[in-house]
């Protein structure tokens, strides 16, 4: 799984045989204020791409595609620390801090651990797969663009639009959760509509700074989230052992008491099935490292560390904290049953029960910041995918606009425009509207991960058929195609389990057929919508998957090392001291 500085093919030399002439736009020549997005000039369209544009002559389409792939429209502003923290803490938010409470209520502590561990193992394989492909092809649009190439443009069209709508709908959800989180300190401070307005404006302001604003916010918020979770794990261990403050519920040893009474499983097999989608939602956004690869100066150096960071986040952050939660709280805790927002967060509930005054407020502040962080991820992921859809002809050409500060401006505005949907929650009827909006994107994360695994399988097949060796790859997925097949099978099983729960929900089927149908589509609407989008994409472009020997493996490819060169490089690395080799294996490339 080593990566090596590759032999890049100079974009201008690729087309030397053709009469085309390329002029390169260098954003570094702009003022620092323009690059930060703080001048009127920064909102003007960047000429061509940030790498080059055709200015005269030439009709070699293949050469043009290679130049565009070698010079993505989005500037490479992310630093290694940004990418690593996005991978480690980027998706820690509502799913872990709040959603885990509902999962504990439905599945019990054992059900929660089973679901999170299985989804976590699958996700490790997904990130390994996307790491392998993104390092070789750090193209704009990430996994969507790879799906167009390795799978089928019609399927990629469906997956891409589903991904855009997923983040567009999650944005107002996160803004609403942020508002309810603040109301933990009292509903009289300000109406929920006021908080929604404030948080939407804050997200919009950060988006003005483009990629750098998102990256910096993610870095510092991820640091805070990791600090709080690690701190909670240590406090939780002390409380479980009976070291909590006198007068609290954890001033005596509790051990595994809550696993015995009320028990490890809340609703048996159904409870475990019901928790899978919550677990998947909590990991949503992990795939963002694939989108960010094209905005990182040297993904061969930074992506392996980011990919490996996913393993540590899953094992240390998620599994450890959820184990602590399952030991501290019984699944029939009343506040889990009736609370909402921060009031239902098992982290806050546990600290309240321990009577550790002040820390619960600190955790609640962290939850609020985490929610806003995920809101920014919504704008980042949705806008970049929408821009890529436009670049491939599957969205209006307007969305290909990228300004001099590297903001896909129309795409960003489009996603931000969904933010005011949060206001529907001000009225009681808004719950119904929001229910169906969320239903449209409820399974989108699973479809995205499925596409990544299938892309990797098809890529490896084409790589082999066209005479390449896996030894040429600068980074190899830990599980190879076996890991991707494991991901495909597990995702299908999760979809089946969700279908099962949608038809036979916990608590029994409602006698009213209308309610049964409504509950089913509320859980499974994203599946027929995905099929509908595929049908639209096929009717529009009439495309079919290419055979393995027809797949283009050269356009946008960054590494052209031979097997012998890679063998020499890896042999040289094996001569490093043991402690350095161990460090590289666990944390870096």
Angle between helices 480-503 and 444-465 (to 10 degrees): 150
Task: Compute the distance between CA of residue 475 and CA of residue 532 in angstroms, rounded to an integer.
Answer: 36
* pLDDT tens sequence across 241-273: 988 888 888 888 888 888 988 888 888 888 888
CB atoms under 10 Å from CB of 396, counted, come to 12
Residue 2 located in a structural domain: no
Going by C-alpha positions, the residue among 340, 334, 370 that lies closest to residue 353 is 334
Residue 318 located in a structural domain: yes
Q: What is the pLDDT of residue 485?
A: 94
Residue 1 located in a structural domain: no
Do the Cβ atoms of 313 and 87 come closer than 8 Å? yes
Q: What is the pLDDT of residue 488?
A: 93
Predicted model pTM: 0.83
Residue 6 located in a structural domain: no
Quickly tell me which residue has 């790879």 as its tokens: 146
Domain count, the chain: 1
Contacts 24+ apart (CB under 8 A), 525-530: 525/436, 525/439, 525/440, 525/442, 526/162, 526/439, 526/440, 526/441, 526/442, 526/443, 526/444, 526/447, 527/443, 527/495, 529/162, 529/440, 530/158, 530/159, 530/162, 530/443, 530/447
Task: Compute the distance between CA of residue 317 and CA of residue 93 in angstroms, rounded to an integer.
Answer: 12
3-state SS class at 68: helix
Residue 13 vs residues 24, 297, 318: alpha-carbon distances, Å: 13, 20, 47
Q: What is the pLDDT of residue 6?
A: 47
Burial of 528 (0-12, 13-18, 19+ CB in 10 A): exposed
Q: Which pLDDT tens digits describe the chain residue by residue (589 residues)?
A: 555 544 544 443 443 334 444 455 566 666 676 766 677 777 777 775 443 333 333 333 344 344 444 444 555 556 667 666 666 666 677 778 877 888 888 889 999 999 989 888 888 888 889 888 888 887 777 778 888 888 888 888 888 888 888 888 888 888 888 887 787 777 677 888 888 899 899 999 888 887 777 778 888 888 888 888 888 899 999 999 988 888 888 888 888 888 988 888 888 888 888 888 788 877 877 777 766 666 666 777 777 777 777 777 777 788 888 999 999 999 888 887 655 555 668 888 888 888 887 887 888 888 888 888 888 888 888 888 898 888 888 888 888 888 877 788 899 999 999 988 888 877 655 556 666 666 666 678 888 899 999 999 999 999 999 888 888 888 888 888 999 999 999 999 988 888 888 788 777 666 667 767 777 777 777 788 888 888 888 888 787 888 888 888 887 777 777 777 777 777 877 788 887 777 667 666 6
Q: What is the pLDDT of residue 532?
A: 87
Residue 119 located in a structural domain: yes
Residue 3 located in a structural domain: no
Q: What is the pLDDT of residue 67?
A: 40
Do the Cβ atoms of 4 and 561 come closer than 8 Å? yes
Per the omega criterion (within 30 degrees of 0), is the bond before 110 cis? no
Give me the domain span that covers residue 373.
11-587
* pLDDT tens sequence across 435-448: 666 666 667 888 88
Residue 192 located in a structural domain: yes
Q: What is the pLDDT of residue 238?
A: 92
Residue 531 located in a structural domain: yes
Q: What is the pLDDT of residue 40?
A: 72
CATH number at residue 513: 1.20.1740.10
């Amino acid at each position: 799984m080593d990566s090596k500085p590759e032999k890049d093919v100079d974009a201008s030399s690729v087309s030397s045989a053709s009469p085309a002439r390329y002029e390169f736009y260098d954003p570094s020549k702009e003022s620092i204020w323009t690059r930060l997005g703080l001048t009127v000039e920064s909102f003007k369209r960047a000429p061509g791409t940030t790498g080059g544009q055709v200015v005269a002559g030439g009709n070699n389409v293949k050469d043009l595609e290679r130049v565009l792939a070698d010079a993505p429209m989005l500037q490479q502003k992310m630093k290694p620390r940004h990418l690593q923290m996005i991978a480690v803490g980027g998706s820690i938010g509502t799913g872990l801090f709040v959603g885990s409470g509902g999962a504990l209520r439905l599945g019990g502590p054992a059900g929660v651990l089973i679901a999170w561990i299985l989804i976590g193992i699958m996700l490790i394989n997904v990130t390994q797969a996307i790491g392998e492909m993104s390092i070789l092809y750090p193209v704009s649009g990430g996994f969507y663009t790879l799906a167009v190439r390795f799978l089928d443009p019609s399927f990629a069209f469906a997956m891409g639009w589903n991904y855009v709508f997923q983040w567009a709908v999650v944005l107002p959800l996160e803004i609403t959760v942020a508002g309810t989180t603040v109301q933990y300190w009292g509903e009289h401070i300000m109406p929920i509509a006021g908080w929604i307005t404030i948080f939407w404006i804050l997200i919009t302001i950060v988006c003005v700074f483009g990629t750098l604003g998102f990256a910096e916010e993610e870095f510092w918020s991820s640091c805070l989230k990791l600090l709080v979770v690690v701190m909670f794990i240590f406090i939780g261990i002390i409380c479980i052992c009976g070291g909590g403050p006198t007068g609290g519920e954890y001033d005596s040893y509790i051990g595994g008491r809550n696993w015995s009474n009320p028990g490890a499983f809340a609703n048996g097999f159904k409870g475990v099935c019901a928790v899978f989608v919550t677990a998947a939602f909590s990991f949503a956004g992990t795939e963002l490292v694939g989108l960010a690869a094209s905005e990182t100066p040297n993904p061969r150096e930074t992506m392996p560390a980011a990919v490996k960071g996913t393993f540590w986040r899953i094992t240390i952050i998620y599994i450890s904290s959820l184990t602590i939660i399952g030991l501290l709280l019984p699944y029939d805790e009343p506040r889990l049953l009736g609370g909402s927002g921060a009031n239902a967060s098992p982290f806050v509930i546990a600290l309240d029960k321990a009577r550790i005054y002040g820390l619960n407020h600190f955790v609640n502040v962290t939850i609020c910041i985490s929610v806003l962080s995920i809101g920014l991820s919504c704008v980042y992921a949705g806008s970049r995918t929408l821009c890529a859809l436009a670049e491939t002809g599957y969205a209006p050409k307007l969305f290909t606009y990228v300004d001099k500060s590297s903001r896909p401006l129309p795409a960003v505005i489009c996603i931000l425009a969904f933010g005011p949907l949060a206001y529907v929650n001000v009225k009681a009827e808004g719950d119904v509207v929001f229910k169906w909006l969320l239903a449209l994107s409820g399974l989108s994360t699973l479809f995205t991960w499925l596409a990544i695994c299938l892309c990797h399988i098809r890529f490896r097949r084409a790589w082999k058929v066209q005479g390449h060796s896996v030894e040429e790859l600068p980074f190899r997925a830990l599980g190879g195609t076996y890991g991707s097949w494991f991901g495909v099978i597990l995702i299908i099983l999760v979809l089946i389990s969700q279908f099962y729960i949608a038809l036979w929900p916990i608590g029994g089927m409602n006698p009213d057929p209308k309610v049964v149908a409504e509950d089913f589509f509320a859980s499974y609407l994203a599946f027929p919508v995905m099929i509908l989008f595929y049908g639209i994409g096929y009717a529009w472009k009439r495309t079919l998957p290419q055979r393995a020997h027809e797949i283009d493996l050269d356009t946008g490819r960054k590494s052209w090392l031979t097997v012998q060169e890679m063998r020499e490089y890896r042999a040289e690395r094996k001569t490093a001291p043991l402690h350095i080799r161990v460090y590289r294996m666990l944390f870096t490339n």
